[in-house]
Amino acid sequence: MEPWSNTRRRHCVVTGGAGFVGSYLVEALLAQGASVTAVDDLSTGRTGNIDHLHENPNFRLVQLNVADRSLLAPIVAGCDELYHLASYVGVKLASQTSSQTILNNLRAIDSILDLACHYRPRLLLTSTSEIYGKALDSNSGDRTSLAEDSDRVYGPTEVHRWSYAGIKSVEEFLTLAKHHEEGLDTLIVRLFNVIGPRQQGRNGPVVPRLIRQALSGEPLTVYGDGSQLRCFTDVADAIEAIVTLMARSDTAGETFNIGNNVPVSIRALAELIIEVTESDSTIEFVPHEAVFGKHFEDVLVRIPDVTKLQRLTGLTCEIPLEDTLRMIVDSTRIAQNAPG
């Protein structure tokens, strides 16, 4: 590896830095003047997300599995901030989780926390809205959104989908334990359906999949009856919230929802994508079991309560969904028309 400049600057390590959200975070940190090491095994991340950064002398990519503590140690040793984004993502991938995938994620957080406690960087853990499970579906009270301290409701262990929520729960428990027991400077953010250019649809994210289908003139496949409610967050809003929270000293040991809180049904999302792409595609409703098998549960409603984020930072993740979709459509068209 090339040595860093002798000029002392803030050094950040981003695991999963070649992924969708990770690559945007790397860009934002570089724009702040930090030196950044992206760590990624490229199992779901893509070099194409960060190829444009290699000419920046303050950036480097290290390809390795975050669970490999001995290889990760010298990278974490020199960093001031450690952002842990590396994880498998997507409902489809979660529904097909193997024991090895589960163990690799648990080994990764164990490795990250052990090294963080030894070298003492500030640590940000990215968690997920999946952490809440089907809490709003099962709630018989007046709650209409999910606050950071809301109860969580999961389905049975035979439904593979819940393994991802379980893993992220364990990651949060361990991170908070290290904060309370060893004084580790930690911050947890729960992301709600972040979307934008570079996101891939192969493992389940609905927006890039439907846009690809619309641009190809194929039917847009909506799972179930399309009544499921989701809130989609522009990646620019999510990154602004992450870097803002990480820059504050009063966020240590805290957990924050990051998300747009305007819900849309998946059917309405498909209709909007057809409108934005000016496609002649139709909408085709597909039973969940045809895609995910018999042992699958969907979540009907998932809406974040972002009061905590707004009160502390004044930030609102409110870039309109249509604006974000237009950006994704434009970038997808450019990629499809690129030579080669």
CB 13 within 8 A of CB 76: yes
The domain made up of 11-267+273-335 has a fold known as Rossmann fold (3.40.50)
Look at residue 52 in the predicted model and tell me its pLDDT: 96
Q: Which pLDDT tens digit goes with each residue over 132-176?
A: 999 998 765 567 999 999 999 999 998 888 999 999 999 999 999
Report helix angle 99-119 to 69-76, nearest 10.
40
Of 305 and 9, the structure prediction assigns the larger pLDDT to 305
Look at residue 14 in the predicted model and tell me its pLDDT: 98
Integer Cα distance of 64 and 46 in angstroms? 13
CB 222 within 8 A of CB 266: yes
Enter the tokens of residue 20: 């969708």
Lowest mean pLDDT among 20-24, 140-144, 218-222, 245-249: 140-144
Look at residue 165 in the predicted model and tell me its pLDDT: 94
Nearest partner of 26 among 34, 234, 88, 127, judged by Cα: 34
Integer Cα distance of 155 and 166 in angstroms? 10
Look at residue 99 in the predicted model and tell me its pLDDT: 87
Look at residue 291 in the predicted model and tell me its pLDDT: 80
- Across the range 250-277, mean pLDDT stands at 98
Q: In whole numbers, what is the pLDDT of the chain averaged over residues?
A: 92
Nearest partner of 312 among 198, 128, 148, judged by Cα: 148
Look at residue 190 in the predicted model and tell me its pLDDT: 98
- Check pLDDT > 80 for residue 89: no
Look at residue 184 in the predicted model and tell me its pLDDT: 98
Look at residue 6 in the predicted model and tell me its pLDDT: 45
Residue with tokens 């860009």: 27
First to last CA, the chain: 30
- Check pLDDT > 80 for residue 316: yes
Look at residue 335 in the predicted model and tell me its pLDDT: 86
Q: Which pLDDT tens digit goes with each residue over 182-204?
A: 999 999 999 999 999 999 977 67
**pTM for the whole thing?**
0.94
CB 231 within 8 A of CB 302: yes
At 3, the pLDDT band (50, 70, 90 cuts) reads: very low
Look at residue 94 in the predicted model and tell me its pLDDT: 56
Residues whose CB falls within 8 Å of the CB of residue 84, separated by 6 or more in sequence, listed in order: 15, 16, 66, 108, 109, 112, 123, 124, 125, 126
Q: Enumerate the domain spans of the chain.
A: 11-267+273-335
Catalytic (active-site) positions: 164
Burial code (b: 16+ CB inside 10 Å, e: under 16) for 25-53 equals bbbbbbeeebbbbbbbbeebbeeebbeeb
At 248, the pLDDT band (50, 70, 90 cuts) reads: very high
CB 277 within 8 A of CB 208: no
In the beta sheet, which residues pair with residue 83?
14, 124
